Amino acid sequence: MVKVRVSLAPPPDASYDILIGRGLLGELPALLSRACAVARYAVIADSHVAELYGKKTVARLHDGKLHADLFTFPAGEWNKSRDTWTALTDRLLAAGVGRDAAIVALGGGVTGDVAGFVAATYLRGVPYVQLPTTLLAMIDSSIGGKTGVDLPAGKNLVGAFHQPRLVVADLDVLATLPAVHLAAGMAEALKHGVIADAAYFGFLEAEHRAALAKDGTVLDRVVARSVEIKAGVVARDEREAGLRAVLNFGHTVAHAIETVAKYEVPHGEAVAIGMAHEARLAERLGIAAAGTADRVRLALEHYHLPLDLPDTAPIDDLIAAMHRDKKARGGEVRFALPRRVGEMHADAGGGWTTPVPEQAVRGVLTGG
Ligand SMILES: NC(=O)c1ccc[n+]([C@@H]2O[C@H](COP(=O)([O-])OP(=O)(O)OC[C@H]3O[C@@H](n4cnc5c(N)ncnc54)[C@H](O)[C@@H]3O)[C@@H](O)[C@H]2O)c1
Ligand SMILES: [Zn+2]
């Protein structure tokens, strides 16, 4: 087992551990009793994960003499919504779940974000634990305490910062993850390489076949290194006052695509399309070294990730959605852009996002 600590500044001390290994869900009663001892656990899972792992997980908690119940919602990004938040909180209340309880988010990023938001708000906030079951959730969304839901007007527009007490990534569950969601997770792994570690990016380029074949040694390394990178950034900037914005490389375009295409493009695929376009934008603006965009595109292709805008996302609509992005300031759309693979661009004032004129954005989106 690998343990990565997310060290956050007191007070209060919200630091927590991320445990990475195999067979960890079997040790859950002991892990929960140590890191998040409460009278009752409300396990939240989407409909797919509930069938695959939810019932089993609750049964294990019962075996460990813990009080636990399963609460489910229909799978799919379009269900990361205020309606799901309403339904879950109503059911928790009806079941008599009180302040002596904790939420256990078992699933992908959708479950982690919406269950985390339930935890942040239910009875003014209860503790929660993340049990990520997609590659994307293990290496990205379960870490950092960003919770929330999507709105028709945009991604993650309602939410809260709420740090988990513990994250447990059991790589055994990746055995059932569909190929398209494995690739979607690799998009965020490639992002980690671009923003922080050229050698890691090179490893991901070289090992794409093994990674897509779910080679255990390669996936172990991917999860361990990506978690280190994400945890390191979050620890230095818990509430995105500065550096944490680098994690948004590819995401200004990605969030616009997700919104305009009504959440039918998986997040990781939207990030791939976003990175392909934003890397080219960085090169056009003279920020990124020549060759950066081609290298990013080729790596994404290795993972069979999409590079082109979907037909369901017209460029005018994308530009309008970007203006509603949380990173937009004073009418300007901002991007976190790379200087080269392994290093992000900071301006002279130490800011990690760059305002880009609409004409330049439009030029890159049209492929011109
Ligand atoms: N909070 C953050 O910091 C952060 C960071 C990155 C992404 N996100 C969010 O994460 C979300 C995307 O997460 P995702 O890609 O994990 O999507 P997801 O949660 O929808 O999971 C993808 C699909 O895989 C299924 N699934 C999950 N685990 C499985 C398993 N082990 N075996 C078989 N099927 C399984 C799910 O039921 C779902 O159908 C987006 O909403 C994105 O905005 C949040
Ligand atoms: Zn993302």
How far apart, in whole angstroms, are the C-alpha atoms of residue 177 and residue 214?
10
Kindly report the CA angle at 20 between 16 and 26, in degrees rounded to 5?
100
Task: Give the chain's domains with CATH numbers.
Answer: 2-176 (3.40.50.1970), 179-365 (1.20.1090.10)
Dump pLDDT digits (tens) for 94-131.
999 999 999 999 999 999 999 999 999 999 999 999 99
Active site residues: 124, 146, 188, 230, 240, 244, 248, 251, 255, 267
Around Cβ 270, how many Cβ atoms within 10 Å? 29
Ligand 1 atom closest to Cα of 185?
15
Percent of the chain with pLDDT over 90: 91
What is the pLDDT, as a whole number, of residue 349?
82
Pocket probe for ligand 1: among 24, 44, 49, 230, the residue whose CB has the most ligand atoms within 8 Å is: 49
pTM of the predicted model as reported, rounded to 2 decimal places: 0.97
Atom 35 of ligand 1, residue of closest alpha carbon = 177
Cis ω before 11 (30° cut-off from 0): yes
pLDDT of residue 168 exceeding 70, the answer is: yes
Element (H, E) at 115: helix 109-121
* Predicted confidence (pLDDT) at residue 64 exceeds the cutoff of 90: yes
- Let me know: does 212 contact 183? Beta carbons within 8 Å: yes
d(CA 5, CA 296) in angstroms, rounded, equals 30
Q: CA torsion sign, 284 to 286 to 291 to 292?
A: negative
- Which residue has a Cα nearest atom 43 of ligand 1? 267
Which H or E run includes 118? helix 109-121
**For residue 316, how far is its CA from the centre of ligand 1 (angstroms)?**
28
Nearest C-alpha neighbor of 131 from the set 95, 90, 102: 102
Q: What is the pLDDT of residues 15-42, one digit of tens each?
A: 999 999 999 999 999 999 999 999 999 9
Q: What is the spatial distance between Cα 100 and Cα 41, in angstroms, rounded to a whole number? A: 9
- The pick from 111, 141, 180 for probing ligand 1's pocket by mutation, whose C-beta has the most ligand atoms within 8 angstroms, reads 141
Q: Quick one: average pLDDT of 69-96?
A: 98
Q: Quote the CA–CA distance of 171 and 267 in Å, as a whole number.
A: 21
Cβ of 248 closer than 6 Å to ligand 1, yes or no, is no
Q: How many whole angstroms from 188 Cα to the centroid of ligand 2?
A: 6
pLDDT tens per residue, range 292-326 = 999 999 999 999 999 999 999 999 999 999 998 87
Distance 16 CA to ligand 1 centre (A): 21
The string of pLDDT tens digits covering residues 176-234 is: 999 999 999 999 999 999 999 999 999 999 999 999 999 999 999 999 999 999 999 99
| 52 close to ligand 1 (CB < 6 Angstrom) | yes
User: Which ligand is in closest contact with the Cα of 115?
Assistant: 1
176 lines ligand 1 (CB under 6 A): yes
Pocket perturbation via mutation, ligand 1, pick of 134, 139, 265 by most ligand atoms within 8 A of CB: 134
Average pLDDT (270-294) is 98
User: How far away, in angstroms, is 95 Cα from ligand 2 center?
Assistant: 33
The answer on pLDDT for 328 being more than 80 is no
Does ligand 1 come within 6 angstroms of the Cβ of 110? yes
Distances (CA, A) of 20 to 29, 172, 226, 231: 16, 10, 11, 13
Please state, in angstroms and rounded to a whole number, the distance separating the CA atoms of residues 41 and 25. 15
Q: Which ligand is nearest to the CA of 77?
A: 1
Instruction: Please state the atom number of ligand 1 nearest to the C-alpha of residue 176.
Output: 32
Tokens of 269: 């695929």
Q: Is 141 in the pocket of ligand 1 (CB under 6 A)?
A: yes
Give the closest residue (by CA) to ligand 1 atom 5. 141
Q: Which atom of ligand 1 is nearest to the CA of 113?
A: 1
Q: With bands split at pLDDT 50, 70 and 90, how would you rate the model's confidence at 368?
A: low
Q: Is 169 in the pocket of ligand 1 (CB under 6 A)?
A: no
